[in-house]
Structure 1
Amino acid sequence: MTIRTKLLLFIPLLVLLVGSITLLLFRSTNVVQRSYDQMMERLLLYKQAAQTSNQLLQSLYSNRDDPTDVSAAQLLQLKIELNRLQAQLLGNGFSLSTASESIGYAQMLGTLLDQTQAALASTTPAEALALYEKAEDTAGFIYEQGSQLIDMELEADQPVFHRIQQENVQLLRLGAAVLIVETVLAALLALWISRSITRPIGMLVESAGRIARGELEAEPPQLARRDELGMMAEAFSGMLGGLREIARLEREQSEQQRLLGELELRSLQSQIRPHFLFNSLNALAKLALIEGAERTSDLIVSMSSLLRYNLQSLDRPVTLREELAHVDAYMTIQQARFRERITFERHIDERALNTMLPPLTLQPIVENAFVHGVEELERGAVISLSIEVIPDDQAVRITVADNGKGMAEQVRRRLLQATSDDIHNAAASSSPPPSNTKASQSAGLGMRNVFRRLELFFGERELIAIDSAPGQGTRLTITLPAVSKPH
C-alpha cells in the first residue's frame, strides 16, 4: 500500500469520527438550549405584560385628568405594546403545568385593552370613573396572576433545570472523552507518520548531506519498501552512481580543460585587433585636407592613444576606467568626422570604474553601435554609454544603446551564440560572403569574440543581453561581477 493510499484512508476516517461526535454534541446542546430559551422567554413575557398593564393604567388616568396629544399618543403606544405581548403569549405556546392559567392570563390582557378603550370612549365623568376602576382591578389581577405564573413556571421547571444541569455535565464528560480520543488518535497517526515516512526521509537527507560534503563513496540507505519512499531510495542510488561517474570524468578532464581554457583565451584575445584604424586614418586625412592643422593635432593625440592601447599586451586585464578612456578617444575621432550628426552620451557611476575586465571590450561594442546602428543617419544619431553599480546583486551593469536601425531577431540570436565553435567556424570559412553581408558578418564575429572573452575571463555565462528590433535601435547590456578577478 502506498503512502498516499494510507493517508487517504486513515485521515478521512479520523475526520469523519470526530465530525460525527461533534455533530452529536452540537445537536444535544441545541435541544437543551432551546428548552431553556423557551422557558425564559415565557417568564420574561409575564413580567413585561404586568409592567405594561400598570403603565397603561397610569397613562389612562393621566389622559382622563388632563387629555393632551402627548398623553393620547403614549396611551396608544402602550395599547399596541400590550396587544403585541398578548399575541406573543398566545403564539409561543405554554407549558403543560400552566396551560390554563397562561390562557386566562392572556385573556385578562384582552379584557384590560377592552376596558381601556371603553373608558376612553365614555361620554360622562361618572361612566369614565367606573370603567377606570374596573380597569384598575383588572390590572391588579394581571400583576398578581403574572407573579403566580412566574412562581408556577419556576416550580414546574425545577426538574427541567435539574435535567439541563445533568445533560450539561454529561456533555462536558463526553466532550472530554472525545478530546482524549482525538488526542490519542492524532498521536498514533503522528507516530505512524514519523516511523513510516520521516525516518526514511531523514536517512536520505543524512546521506545527501554526506554527498554534499564530497563523500561520494558513502553508501545510500537501502529501503526494502514498495511505496514512494522505496522508489525515491532507488532513484537516489542511481543519482549517486551518476555523480560518481561525473566526478571521475571531471577529475580526468580538469587539467585538460584548464589548459584548453587558457589557450582559447589567448587565441580569442589575439583575434581582437584595431580594425577601425583605416576609417580613423581616413577621417584624419580628410580633416587635415579641409581644415589645415589646428584640430588635427588633437585628433592625432587621440589616435596615438588608440594605437598605444591597442598595441598593449592583451593578457593583462584592465579597469573600466581605462576602457572608458579608450572609448572617449574613439568617439573624439568619430565626432570630429561626423560633427553634429552624432551625439555621444555618458552616464558613469565612479564607483564602478575599478572593476577589472579584458582589454578591448567596450570600444568594439561602441564601434558596432556606430557602424551598424547610426552611421547611415543624416542627423539625430545618439549613442549612449551607461555604467552603474547594482548593490543588491553585487554587480556592475554596462549599457550601450543607440537609436539606429536595429537588427532582426535572427541576427540578435546569432550574436548571442558566443561559442568558440561559432568563432572558429566563421574565421575558417573558405567561401567568401556576399558583398552586402561581409561587413555584418565581420562585426558579428568581432562582437561574439568580445562576448566569448568575457565569459572565459569571468568564468560565467549569460553575461550579455541584447534588446533590439528593426527600426527601433539596439540596447546591449553587460552584467559583470562587482569583484572582478581574472580566471
Structure 2
Amino acid sequence: MSLKRKFQYVYTISSAVIAAALVLGILLSVKGMDMLTNTLDNNEKAIELYRAVTKEHNTLKLYFEDAQTILPEQIDEVRNDTKRILKKIPADYNGMNEEQYIVIQSIHNTYDSYDTIYRSITESNLSEKEYRNAIDNCYKAQNYLEDYVKKYESITVSLGNEQYNGQKKLFYIIPVICIIIAFVVIVLFIWIRLFMSRSIVKPILMLSDEARRISMNDYSGDDIIIKGDDEISLLIKEFTEMKHSTKNYIVTLKEKHKVEQQLEHMRFEMLKNQINPHFLFNTLNLIAGTAEIEDAVTTEKMINTLSRLFRYNLKTQTSIMPLEQEVKIMDDYMYLQQMRFGQRIKYMCDVDKECMDELVPAFVLQPLIENAIIHGLSSSSKGGLIYVRCFKKEDKMWLSVADTGIGIERDKLKNIRRYIDNIFLSPDTKPAATAENDNKSDADNGIKRKTVGVGIGNIAYRIKGMYNNSGIKIYSVKDRGTVIQIFFDNYSK
C-alpha cells in the first residue's frame, strides 16, 4: 500500500470518527433543547392565557360596575388579546394528552359562550332585569373560564415537569458525549503520531544513520529491515541494495588492486629469474659444442634436449600452444627423466593426429608428468609406466596422464577431489597458487594447496579461467596407480 493511500485511510477514518461523534452530540443537544423549548413555550402560553383571562375579567367587571372608568375601546383591546392567545392554543388532540385536550376544548367552548353573552349585553336592547341576568351569566362564564384556565395551567406545568424529569438525563449525557469526543480526538492524534513515527520518522532516522555510517566508509552496519511496499519501504530497500552493490564494488576494487600488486611482484621476480636461465642456457650451448667436438653423442643429445626445454620455457609468452608443440616438449622432458632413472621408468604417448593442431593451455602436461614421477614412481624400486593420451570425445578435448606408481591414499584423494571441485564450482577464477594465498583461498575450503600440489592447483585455476565447460577428474588406487584427466571444450572465454 502506498504512503498516499495510507494517509487517505488515516484521514478518512479520523474524519469519520470525529464527524460521527459531533453529529451524535449535536443531535442529542438539539433534542434536549427542543424538549426544553417546547416545555417553556407551553408554560408561557398557559401563564399568558391565565393573565389575559384574569385581566379581561377584572376589566369587564369595572366596566359593568363603573362605566365611566373603563372605555369600550379598552374592553375591545383586552378581549382581542385573549382571543389572540387562544388562537395560539388550538384544541389539537395529536399535540397534547387527553386531559389537556378536554380542558382546552372546554376553555374554547366556555369562551365562545361567554363571548355570545357579552355580545348580547353590548349589542341588544335588554330590559333592566334581562341586563342584570346577562351580567350574572357573564360573570359565571368568566368564573368557569378562569377555573378551566387555572386547571390548564396546572396540567401544562405538571406535564412540562414530567417531560423535563424524563429528558433530564440528556443534559447529563451531552457533557459525557463532549468528553468522549475529546477523548476520541486525543486518541486519534496519538494514533496518527504513532503511525507517522512508525511509517515515516523512524525509517527516515534509521536511513539517515545508515547513510552517515556509509559516508565514513563503514559498511558493517546491519541492514534496515522494514515491512510494507510503500514509498518509504521501497526507498530503504533500494538503498540497502545500493549499499551492498557499493560494498561489493569496493571489495572487487581492493581484490583487483591486490592482484595487480601480486602480478607486478611476479613480473619483477620473473625479470630477476631470467638472468640465471639465460646464463644457464648459454652455458649449456657451450657445453654441447664441446661435447660435439669430443664426440660425446649422448651427452650432446642430453644437453640439446635440456636447452630446448629452457628455450621453450623462456620464449613462451602466450597462454595457449598447439598440442604438437606440447607433445615435443613432453618427449624431451621424458627423455631426460629416462636418462636419469634408466629402465625403471617407461613412457608411452598416444595422441590422435586430428588433435595435433588443437590449441591447449601451455605447460599443461609437463607438471602432471613431473608429479607422476615424483609422487608415483620415484619412490618405487620397480619404477613403472607413464601413459599419456590425447583425444577428442563429445566435442571436448581430453588430456590424460596415467602412471602405475604407488597411488594415492583414500583420504588424501578425497581431499584433492574436493579441492579441485571447489575450484570449478567457485563463481570467479582465483589467481594462481602462491605462498600468500595458500591459506586464504575460498575455494580451498580448509585444504591447503601444499596438501594437493601447486602444479595441479595452478592447472585447475588456468583451465577454469580459460574455458567455460571444463574440469579435472582424478582416479587412483593404492599401490596400483593414478589417472588424471583434463577435459575442456574448443571455445575459450
TM-score range, shorter chain: 0.3 to 0.5
TM-score normalised according to structure 2 size: 0.39
**Which has more radius of gyration?**
2
TM-score normalised according to structure 1 size: 0.39
